[in-house]
Structure 1
C-alpha cells in the first residue's frame, strides 16, 4: 500500500462520534442538493402537464444541466482542494434554493434552460466534489465501500423523507398546478434551511487542502495535470460512466408504468420516490457491505452487477403490457433499480482500491465526475427523442434494450478495472 493511501487510514478504536457526526451532516447535504435538478424523478408527468414540456424538452433541460456540470466538475475538484467545506456546501445549497423559488413561478422553457444550468453550478461544482473528498477522508481503504455505500443509503433516507413530504404537499393541494408549484417551493426552502444549518455545523472545519498537504502549495494546475496522468483514474471514470448511463434510464420507468400499465399519477409519484430514492436506503448500504465483506473489492462487485442487469431487462421487455400486469412490471423495474443503486453506492470506492493519491483526491474526483457523469449531457436527450419518435410501449422497449446493451459494455469495462485493482493489491503486498 502506498504512503498516500496509508494517510487516509488513521488508527482508531471504538465509535468515533465526531467522524459520524460529520458524516451525518454531509449526508444531509447530499440528500437535498439534487432535488430540484432531478424533480422529474417524482414529478415527470406534472412537468409535462403543468409546464407544457415534451419528453425531448425535459431531456434537453437535463442535458443542459449535465453539460454545465461536466464542464465545471474539474473546477469543483480544484475548489474542494482549496476552500473550506463550510463555505462551499452551504453556498451551493442556498443557491439551489433561490433558483427553486423562481422555478416555482412556472417560467417558460426559455427561462428553465438557464435555471437548470445554474443548478449545476451550485450542486455539481460547489457541493459534490467537496462532499466526495470529505467522505473519502473519513476512513481508510477497508472502509471505503461502507462509507460510500452508507452515503448513498443515507442520501436515500433523506431523499425519501423530503420527496414524500413534497408529494404530500402536491396531493394535499389537489395534484394540479397549485400543488406542483407548492412542491417545488417546498424543495427550495428545504435546500435553504439545510444550507444555513450546515454553515453553522461545519464552522470549525479547515480547508481540506490544509489537512492533506500542510506544507505544500494548495491545489493548482500541477495537481490537475498530475491527477489527469493517472491511468487508473480514467478506468474508474469509465466504469462510473457506464453505470451512470444505465442509471439515467431509470427515469423512464415512471412514465412507462403510467402510460403502458395504467398507474394513476399519485401512485406513479410514490413509485418514483421508492424507485429513485427509497432504494438508495437499501441499495447503498447493501452494495457497501457486499463490497467490503463479500467481494473484498468494488471492482469485482461492479462487474457482476452489470451482468445481472441484462436478464432483468429481458424480463421487463417480455412482460405483457396492460393493467393486469402492473405488479410484476413494478417488481421487475424495482429489482433493476435496486441493482443500479447498489452500484451507485460503491462506484467511487475503487478510487482507493486502485491507489489514487489522497493529496489530489479532490481534483481526481472532479476529473472522474467530469467523465463519469457525462452521460447526463446526452442520455436523457437520446432516451427522450427515442420515446417521442416511437410512441407507446415500443419506444420504452427500445430504451430498455439500449440500457441492456450498455450494461454489457459496462461489464467489460469493470473487468478491466478489476484487473488493475488486483495488480495494485499485489504491488502493495510486495512493498510490505
Structure 2
C-alpha cells in the first residue's frame, strides 16, 4: 500500500475535526432530557409515571432505530456529506422546538421526530471517516469522533444545574443547543467533502435496497457483529438515560450533582478508553488481522465486573463506589465503541458500510428502547437495581464470545489509501 499525500492526510483528519462537534451536539441533545428528568416531569405533569418517562425515551430510540438503515442506505447511495449536514439541521430545529412543548403528548412527538432526524447522522459519519481512514488510522479516527459523543454526554450531565437555575431552566438549555446546531449546519455543509470514488465504487453504490440487505444478512460475520453491537446497548442506554435518576434516588443527592456524577466520570473514562483502544487496535492490526476484535473483546470483559459493581453500589451507601465502577464501565465502553465501525469495515465492502451500520443501529437501539421502557416498569414494581444490572453483566459475557467468533477479511483491497 502506497503512502498517502500530505494534503490527503490533512483532509482525512479535517473530516474528523469537523464531525466531532456534530457528534457532541448529537448526544448533548439526547443526554439533557435524561439529566433534567425531575424538572421536566414537574413542569409537564401529564407524564406522571416512570413508565411514561421510559416511553418518552423509548419512542426516540424506536424511531431512530427504524430510520437508521434508511439513512445509511441514502448515505451509501448518494452523498454522505448531504445526509450529515441535513440531519444536523433537522435535529437542531427539533431540539429548539422541544424547549417549547407544554404537554406529554407534544414531548412524546418531538422526541419521536428527533429520533427520525438523528438516525441519518451516525451511519453516514462513521462511514465517511472509514472512507478517508483506510487501515492504519481507522480505529484512532473513529475513537476521536466518539470522543465528541462522550463530551456531549458530559455536557449534558451538567444541564441539571441549568434546569435547577432560576435564571435558566430546562427549556433554555434546549433553545441554546438548537440554535447552535442550526448555526453550525451551514458551514459544515460547505466544508465537508465526500472522497472521490472510482468506477467500481460508483457502480456498486447503485445496489438496490433489497440487494444490499440480502448481501449483508447472508454474511455470518455481519450477523455476529449485529448481535455483539446490540447486547451491550441494553446496559449502555440504561446507564445513559437512567443513571442520573438512579443516583439521585439511591444516594439522596441533588439533580445537578446526580447528573454530573452519572456522566462526567464514566464518559471521561470512555474518552481515555476510545483513544487508547483506537491506538492499541491500530498497532495490533499490524501483527494480526484480528487486532481490533481482540481489543474490543478486552473492553467488553471490563464491562462485566463494572455492571455487577454499579448494581451493588447502592447497598454500600457510598456514591464513590458507584462512580468507581462507572469509570471501569467507561474504559471498557471506549475500547468497544471505537472498534465497531472498523470491525464492520473488515466484514462488509465500502459501499454497504453506512447501510450495515444503520442495520446495527436498528437492532441495537430498538432493543435499547425496550430496555429503557422495561427498566422504568421494573422500577415501578420495586425490582432491585442489583438484579437488573446482573443481567447486563451476563449479556456482556455472551458478547465476548460473539465477537471472538467473527471472521475478518480484506474489504479495502484495490482502493488507494487516503490516510496514513
Kindly indicate whether residue 66 of structure 2 is the aligned counterpart of residue 71 of structure 1: yes
Q: Which one of the candidate residues 374, 377, 391 is aligned to 1:385? A: 377
Q: What does residue range 134-149 of structure 1 map to in structure 2 within 5 Å?
A: 134-149=128-143
Structure 1: runs of 5 or more not aligned: 1-8
Cα distance between partner residues in 2 of 1:206 and 1:86: 6
Number of residue pairs aligned between Structure 1 and Structure 2:
402
Q: How does 1:133-282 map to 2 (within 5 A)?
A: 133-157=127-151, 159-160=153-154, 162-163=155-156, 166=159, 169-170=162-163, 172-173=165-166, 178-202=168-192, 205-206=193-194, 213-215=201-203, 218-221=206-209, 222-251=211-240, 252-275=242-265, 277-282=267-272
Q: SS at 2:133's partner residue?
A: coil
Within the candidate set 326, 348, 351, 1:356 is matched to: 348
Shift of 1:167: 5.2
1:106 aligns with 2:101: yes
Write the distance in 1 (CA, Å) between the matches of 2:339 and 2:355.
Answer: 19
Cα distance in 2 for partners of 1:208, 1:235 equals 31
CA distance in 2, matches of 1:79, 1:192: 22
Please, what is the CA RMSD of the aligned residues?
2.8
Distance 1:349 1:362 in 2: 12
Q: TM-score, normalised by structure 2?
A: 0.86
Q: Classify 1:265/1:228 alpha carbon distance in 2 versus 1 (closer, same or farther; 3 Å).
A: same
Q: State the alpha-carbon separation in 2 of the partners of residues 119 and 224 from structure 1.
A: 25
Q: Which residue pairs with 2:418 in the alignment? A: none
8 Å contact kept, 2:92–2:181 = yes
Structure 2 CA distance for aligned equivalents of residues 243 and 332 of structure 1: 16
User: Do structure 1's residue 309 and structure 2's residue 309 form an aligned pair?
Assistant: no
1:44 paired with 2:6, answer no
Cα distance 1:217–1:96, how it changes in 2: closer, same or farther (>3 A)? Answer: closer
Gap regions ≥5 residues in structure 2:
414-420
Distance 2:39 2:203 in 1: 53
Structure 1 runs of 4+ aligned residues shifted over 6 Å read 207-212
Tell me how far 1:76 sits from its aligned partner: 1.0
What whole-Å deviation, never above 9, does each CA across 1:385-411 have from its counterpart, x for those lacking one?
Answer: 111111xxx532222122112212212
Task: Identify which of 385, 392, 395 aligns with 1:396.
Answer: 385
| Conserved 8 A contact 1:82-1:207 | no
For residues 77-115 of structure 1, give each alpha carbon's deviation from its aligned partner in whole angstroms, at most 9, with x where no partner exists. Answer: 111012323322222112112212221123322122221
Confirm whether residue 339 of structure 1 aligns to residue 332 of structure 2: yes
Query: Is the alpha carbon distance of 1:385 and 1:26 closer, same or farther for their aligned partners in structure 2, counting shifts above 3 Å?
Result: same
Query: Could you tell me how far apart the structure 1 residues matched to 2:338 and 2:166 are?
Result: 35
TM-score by length of 1: 0.83
